[in-house]
Amino acid sequence: MRDALVAAAFRLFLERGYEETTVDDIVTLAGVGRRSFFRYFPSKEDVVFPDHERCLADMTAFLATDPDDEPVRKVCDAARLVLLMYAENPAFSVQRYRLTRRVPGLRAYELSVVSRYERALAGYLRSRYAGGRDGALRADVIAAAVVAAHNNALRSWLRSDGKGDAEAMVDHALDQVRTAFAERSVPAVTGGPQDVVVIVSRRGTPLWRVVRELEAALGRD
């Protein structure tokens, strides 16, 4: 029944447009009563994102497991759960992306969904950073950065019609965030030679030569 409604809705949305399709059109095509539509989907927008509720539950369950991991790594792994849901049905995800991009109402609804993920991540980080100075601030900022990085990679994957390697793109994006928010434990001198590299170069040195030196010293990014 749910699936039949989703299928009927997407057929009409794609061939006629979202706002030009009424709930009555959907239920008559699916052959069910109008009342049943709102039994399964609290609003017309919900039929476009039928699996986010389950994904959000999965994420909160994942964040509730043992918190031995490093907090930032944990929320990055949690964000990857969302990508997996999108990657399960690439064709469906791409269609939905195109639909969402051109309908303002759906964009607004997607924002509310994304914010629920972000709130879940921020809530986890707040509990992990509780007590620290600016813990809540740090939690909110990191959650927002993780979500932004994830969405950046996800959208560029969706724009390429799901052709590229979504997981690699998201991994790369999240790595950028991880390094930006890495614990900055060591000042340059006391950190010891393991953490810090010092490069002395003459002004006027060709850039490529310094870069080659850097690649070797820093471990190739």
Residue tagged 């890495």 (tokens): 182
Backbone angles phi, psi at 187, to 5 degrees: -65, 160
Shortest separation between residue 81's beta carbon and a copy of itself, angstroms: 19
- Stretch of residues binding DNA (CB under 7 A), selected from 26-34, 70-78, 144-152, 198-206: 26-34
Q: Using an 8 Å Cβ cutoff, are 81 and 55 in contact?
A: yes
CB 1 → a copy of itself: shortest distance, Å?
A: 26
Q: From DNA, a copy of itself, none, which one binds at residue 197 (CB under 5 to 8 Å depending on kind)?
A: a copy of itself
Query: Does 194 help bind a copy of itself (rule: CB under 8 A)?
Result: yes
Q: Nearest CA to 80 among 151, 176, 161, 23?
A: 151
For residue 64, state whether it binds a copy of itself (rule: CB under 8 A): no
Q: Residue 65 binds which one of DNA, a copy of itself, none, with CB within 5 to 8 A depending on kind? A: none
Q: How far apart are CA 214 and CA 169, in angstroms?
A: 24
Looking at the Cβ atoms of 39 and 155, the one nearer to DNA is: 39
Please choose, from the candidates 44, 25, 34, the residue with its C-alpha nearest in 3D space to the C-alpha of residue 106.
44
The residue count for binding DNA (CB under 7 A) is 17
**Segment near a copy of itself (CB under 8 A); pick from 47-55, 67-75, 79-87, 139-147:** 139-147
Counting contacts by CB under 8 A, is residue 131 touching a copy of itself?
A: no
Which amino acid does the sequence have at 154?
Answer: L
SS3 155: helix
